[in-house]
């Protein structure tokens, strides 16, 4: 199935290094986005698998990390959108009371509120406050301008605060 791909030297070392350095953070990011541990692990594995396959097409290999971050976010979006194709039981999200994993009620409320935001706002906030990315890095990952990141983040925070106030 790889016949359309020109031969290229195995980039194993670099991709493996990238995996060792960032996969855990990305799985956790995907867990926050999907609420499903298995889906989170799958998203990251698939993203790195995709990096292997597309390595020869990457013009700037310094941007491999951005590629993987974007790929993980894309897969998280797909997981949310096409949850019906999952072959695992529909489990409550990890932050829910039912999952009994997150014990702090306030934290559960914050994450639940985050998941009521529009997708782009949620992504921008998670990239900023979980991965601690800069505006420029978020812009590259999401494929938008720095200004859009700034306004999306700001609107997301305001909406989050409003939702939490309404619920108190």
Report the alpha-carbon distance of residue 130 to residue 159 in Å, rounded. 18
Residue 151 in contact with other proteins, rule: CB under 8 A: no
**Smallest gap, in angstroms, from Cβ of residue 59 to other proteins?**
19
Looking at the Cβ atoms of 144 and 164, the one nearer to other proteins is 164
Contacts of 33 (CB under 8 A, 6+ apart): 40, 73, 76, 79, 80, 122, 123, 126
Residue 49 in contact with other proteins, rule: CB under 8 A: yes
Look at residues 38, 151, 160, 40 and name the one whose alpha carbon lies nearest to residue 107.
160
Interface contacts to other proteins, rule CB under 8 A: 1-2, 5, 10-12, 15-16, 19-20, 23-25, 27-29, 31-32, 37-38, 40-42, 45-46, 48-49, 52-53, 83-91, 94-95, 101-102, 104, 106-108, 110-111, 114, 125-126, 129-130, 157, 160-161, 164
């Amino acid at each position: 199935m790889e016949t359309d791909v020109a031969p290229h030297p195995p980039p194993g070392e670099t991709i493996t290094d990238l995996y060792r350095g960032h996969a855990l953070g990305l799985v956790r990011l995907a867990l926050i986005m999907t609420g499903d541990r298995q889906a989170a692990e799958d998203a990251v594995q698939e993203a790195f698998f995709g990096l292997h396959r597309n390595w020869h097409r990457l013009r700037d290999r310094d941007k491999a990390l951005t590629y993987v971050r974007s790929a993980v976010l894309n897969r998280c979006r797909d997981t949310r959108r096409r949850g019906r194709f999952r072959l695992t039981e529909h489990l409550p999200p990890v932050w829910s009371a039912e999952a009994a994993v997150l014990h702090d009620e306030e934290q559960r409320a914050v994450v639940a509120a985050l998941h009521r935001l529009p997708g782009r706002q949620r992504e921008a906030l998670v990239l900023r406050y979980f991965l601690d990315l800069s505006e420029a890095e978020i812009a590259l990952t999401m494929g938008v301008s720095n200004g859009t990141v700034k306004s999306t983040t700001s609107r997301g925070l305001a909406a989050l605060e409003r939702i939490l106030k309404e619920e108190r």
